[in-house]
Amino acid sequence: MPPSLTAALAEAIVAARPEADTAAMAAARRALVDFLACAFAGSRDRTVATVRTGMGDTPGRSPVIGSARPAEPQLAALLNGYAGHVLDYDDVHASVRGHPTTVIVPALLAALDPEAPPSAEAFLAAYLVGLETMAHLGRAIGPAHYERGFHATATLGPLGAAAAIAHLRGFSAETTAIALGLGATQAAGLRLQFGFDAKPLHAGLAARNGLIAARLAEAGLSGAPESLAGAAGFFEAYGFGEAKPERVLEEWGAPWQILRPGLTLKAFPCCTAAHPVAVAGLAFHRDGWRDVARATITFPPGGDAALVVRAPRTGIEARFSPEYILAAALVDGAVRLDHFDERPVRSELAALAERVERRHDTAAPRLTSDPGTRFVVVELADQQGRTAQRRIDGLPGLDDPDAKFRDAKAGSDALQAVPHLVRTMRTPGDLARLLQLLAQP
């Protein structure tokens, strides 16, 4: 019998050696700095305490980012995943069509023994394996999974997190396959929660569920060895008939998905699908556009599926409103954290957002996980009837997460050492030092 798809993926997870790829490891270090910027800033969000209290606040030894109180591992995974995603400022990957790092890193942090951590290089390599897994699954499951209702961060996350932990802890291929199945059988998260606290909760739940999947497989709980392919498998259950399971292992690690199509570090603290809109708006602002009478934003079909809000009431809802984000860019010449907090939206920006129309270019290819399908066209008209137009292709990202870390105003002076430490860490001692810094409030 040929090996099953899940067995083949498990073999690839076990055998992967991303630490040999200098560029991939450097990208992993940048991703970790960027994630920590988001998580430290997010740890100060009012709702983090709501989650911690609501979940029962069980103490333990696992680090909770930005908190002096470590927690039981499952709670720590959940809180760190939540904090990393609550500002919607964390990285995004086109193959995943979601946010891999805020699931994988919290799961890995909770899976290690804080008093006997693995080497920092092994930690980063495990992260890359988790990302590779999540990205390959995302590419294979097809666009309908997301468009018809699922939040891919949440559904693919438990599998990616389980893969990362399996690699870190040196599971056999058999145990890894069972861990993947225990992740697949916890895949959940509906996109209708976008704009609510439940959205970042998805990231935390995915991290925790991936941790549980790995832990129970390691403890010896039995599960289906094949969970992905076949009738009633993960891809059939969640793919709406568009999944291509045979793609899962295509180009595995060649190159690593963190390099191509690449992980996008977010330049703006709002939903990724609106980032090209922000770039266009900022460029118009730089060009001196001020009195905008009306505007049109054109997307490819499906390009605004995540942008579920047209008239936001609060900054939280505004993260998902391209109309409001365009208004912010045009008026303020900036798209900042303070546009997207819990306060009511600014009336001046809301009034301009009302004059923005959304359209779809039905002649363009539907948005897929291929970043080449992503574009927006923004057209402005002023009071005198003058118009201008900009087209932004692909997804603009951030090169330097160190500045973002500084801007996140992360805690104490000691934290200023984090970006350098992450860029250079190699040994278990280095990782232990990072774990100590994470617990700085």
- Between 48 and 94, CB nearer to a second copy: 48
Tell me the C-alpha distance between 441 and 437, whole Å.
9
Q: Which of 99, 136, 167, 215 binds a second copy (CB under 8 A)?
A: 215
- Least Å distance, CB 212 to a second copy, is 7
Could you say whether residue 193 binds a second copy (CB under 8 A)? yes
Residue 144 binds a second copy, judged by CB under 8 A: no
Q: How far is the CB of 314 from a second copy (least distance, A)?
A: 10
d(CA 349, CA 433): 44
DSSP per residue, 330-386: HHHS---GGGSSSSBPPHHHHHHHTTEEEEE-TTSPPP-SSGGG-EEEEEEEETTS-
Toward a second copy, which CB reaches closer, 228 or 395?
228
Report the residue from 26, 198, 249, 331 that binds a second copy according to the rule CB under 8 A: 198
Our finding on whether 205 is near a second copy (CB under 8 A) is yes
Least gap, CB of 80 to a second copy (angstroms): 16
User: Judged by CB, which is closer to a second copy: 243, or 418?
Assistant: 243
Put the strands of the sheet holding 356-360 in their side by side order: 356-360, 292-299, 375-382, 387-393
Q: What is the CA radius of gyration of the chain?
A: 21
Query: Nearer Cβ to a second copy, position 217 or 352?
Result: 217
Distance separating alpha carbons of residues 182 and 203, to the nearest angstrom: 17
Among 219, 290, 363, 413, binds a second copy (CB under 8 A): 219
- Which of 11, 26, 119, 188 is the binder for a second copy (CB under 8 A)? 188
Q: In Å, what is the CA distance from 281 to each residue of 121, 168, 171, 275, 297?
A: 40, 43, 49, 10, 11
Position 297, amino acid: I
Paired residues of 377 in beta bridges: 298, 391
- Within 10 A of 293 (CB to CB), how many other CB atoms are there? 14
Type of residue numbered 286: R
Of the candidate residues 19, 44, 237, 364, the single one contacting a second copy (CB under 8 A): 237
3-state secondary structure of 172: coil
CA distances from 264 to 75, 95, 97, 234, 436 (A): 27, 11, 11, 27, 28
- Of 76, 137, 184, 207, the one binding a second copy (CB under 8 A) is 184
Q: Which is nearer to a second copy, 230 or 428 (CB)?
A: 230
x/- binding map, residues 29-68, to a second copy, per CB under 8 A? ------------------x--xx-xxxx-x-x--------
- Cβ 279 vs Cβ 326: under 8 Å: no
The residue within the footprint of a second copy, chosen from 11, 19, 174, 236 (CB under 8 A), is: 236
Displacement of CA 95 from its chain's centroid (Å)? 11
Smallest distance from a second copy to CB 362, Å: 18
Nearer to a second copy, 194 or 256 (CB): 194
Choice from 20, 172, 196, 389 touching a second copy (CB under 8 A): 196
Burial of 289 by CB count in 10 Å (0-12 exposed, 13-18 middle, 19+ buried)?
A: middle
Name which of 93 and 202 has its Cβ closer to a second copy: 202
In degrees rounded to 5, what are phi and psi of residue 357?
-110, 145
Closest CB 57 distance from a second copy, rounded Å: 10
422 contacts: CB under 8 Å, gap ≥ 6: 29, 32, 33, 36, 434
- Which region among 97-105, 228-236, 328-336, 411-419 touches a second copy (by CB under 8 A)? 228-236
Q: How far is the CB of 224 from a second copy (least distance, A)?
A: 5
Provide φ and ψ at 123, rounded to 5°.
-60, -50
**Residues 331-370 interacting with a second copy (rule: CB under 8 A):** none
User: Shortest approach of a second copy to residue 238 CB, angstroms?
Assistant: 8
Smallest gap from Cβ 82 to a second copy, in A, equals: 10
Query: For a second copy, what does the binding mask look like between residues 162 and 181, x meaning CB under 8 A?
Result: -------------------x
Applying the rule CB under 8 A, the residues between 66 and 95 that interact with a second copy are 72-74
Helices (H) and strands (E) in the chain, counts: 18, 8
Alpha-carbon distance of 179 to 84, in angstroms, equals: 24
Query: Residue 222 Cβ, how far from a second copy at the closest point, in Å?
Result: 4
d(CA 425, CA 434) in angstroms, rounded, equals 9
Site of interaction with a second copy (CB under 8 A)? 47, 50-51, 53-56, 58, 60, 72-74, 147-151, 154, 181-182, 184-193, 195-198, 201-202, 205, 212, 215-216, 218-224, 226-227, 230, 232-234, 236-237
